[in-house]
Amino acid sequence: GVAACNLAAMLHLVLHNGVDVNGKRTGLETGDPRRFKSFDELYEALMKQHEFITHRIFWLAAIARKEQAKYVRLPFLSTMGIQRCMDLGQDLLVPDPDSCMFGISDRAIIDVADSLIAVKKLVFDEKKLTMDELLQALDSNFAGERGEEIRRLCLAQPKFGNDIDEVDLLARKISEDSYKIIRSYDNSPFRKYMVAREGLAWHYFGGLGVGALPNGRKAFEPLNDGSLSPMRGTDKKGPTAVLRSALKAGFKEAHASVLNQKFSAEILRSKESIEKLVAYTNAFMANGGSHIQYNLVDTNELKDAKIHPERHRDLVVRIGGFSAYFTQLSPDIQDDVINRSEHML
């Protein structure tokens, strides 16, 4: 990919009328959210913000792609089954009007779905909070007794990964609308960019620029990993419920939409458990899934590896599109892997 659209950052901009976490007006003025009279107004404002930010992303991406081709070459990637490169002896980065191998990533869709559901229920439907109360809690990073109380309310709202239609189908709608916005731009001579959601470690770096969210996530913490993965610790109804949520959300319009899951290493210690994992994986694929990857490791082992790295030099974990030695990861990314829900079959 050449750029990433951070939908969680866009939601922050909407909730602050275009002002980012640094106090700068970098987004579109979509209006004071305290004056929004319905959830539909909030959602419409988010999509307007998306269009505004994405337009600028494409402008910058077009410049970057043009300059990149002058100074950079990717010989290894150019030979990875890309017929045009092989036929013409041409590097992948050379613009070609007949193909486009580059994508724009739209991320944090699950965080945004969870957050929007929380606002819908707490502010618009049940009126347990005013928008002003919610914004004050977010801006204080849920500080103080009242902030913690509001955070508990936010965390208690429906979350993706628990087979709840309302939030799962909202994630699907956000995904489809985001895809339409990105694909609406014609980037000649590169044609339309693909939409890619492969994951990697973007959720960690993307979270560094996003304040507290209405889903209960605190400021600057990592966002949801992968693209179809629930937020850490919020999937409470077991692994099958996660699969059902992921299949409902779909994300089929994008490339490499990945679901990460963590299972206890116990699953590898009996033939029956291994067969269950195979059946589980086959069920996901047979029902429309396209990309699922696992960590098969005990949480206690991960915690010990963080404290005593010299004992676990060979411990490898899956981050989201790539694997790495656990002891070589930064403490924040180690915590992110540790805090993912651990399932059994």
Query: What phi and psi values does residue 294 have, to the nearest 5 degrees?
Result: -120, 150
Do 210 and 263 fall into the same domain? no
**What is this structure's pTM?**
0.88
User: For each of the chain's 345 residues, which pLDDT tens digit applies?
Assistant: 567 899 999 999 999 999 999 999 999 999 999 999 999 999 999 999 999 999 888 888 778 777 877 888 888 888 876 777 888 888 877 776 665 566 788 999 999 999 999 999 999 999 999 999 999 999 999 999 999 999 999 999 999 999 999 999 999 999 999 999 988 876 655 566 778 787 777 888 889 999 999 999 999 999 998 888 999 889 999 999 999 999 999 888 888 788 988 888 888 888 999 999 999 999 999 999 988 988 888 889 999 999 999 999 889 888 776 788 999 998 988 998 888 888 887
**DSSP code string of 204-252:** HHHHTT----TTSPPTT----STTTPPPTT---S-HHHHHHHHHHH--T
Helix (H) or strand (E) holding 23: none
Given the structure tokens 């077009």, which residue do they identify?
Answer: 62
Do 289 and 212 fall into the same domain? no
Do 59 and 167 fall into the same domain? yes
Do 270 and 127 fall into the same domain? no
| CA atoms of 47 and 56, how far apart (whole Å) | 14
| In 16-82, alpha helices (H) | 39-71, 75-78
Do 334 and 265 fall into the same domain? yes
Distances (CA, A) of 71 to 35, 45, 64, 68, 100: 49, 39, 11, 6, 19
Do 173 and 309 fall into the same domain? no
List the domain range (segments joined by +) for residue 62.
3-229
Query: Is 251 buried (19+), middle (13-18) or exposed (0-12) by CB count in 10 A?
Result: buried
DSSP label of 162: S
Do 219 and 156 fall into the same domain? yes
Do 141 and 277 fall into the same domain? no
Helix (H) or strand (E) holding 296: strand 292-296
Do 217 and 286 fall into the same domain? no
| CA atoms of 11 and 18, how far apart (whole Å) | 9
Of 175, 210, 229, the residue at which a domain comes to its end is: 229
Do 143 and 286 fall into the same domain? no
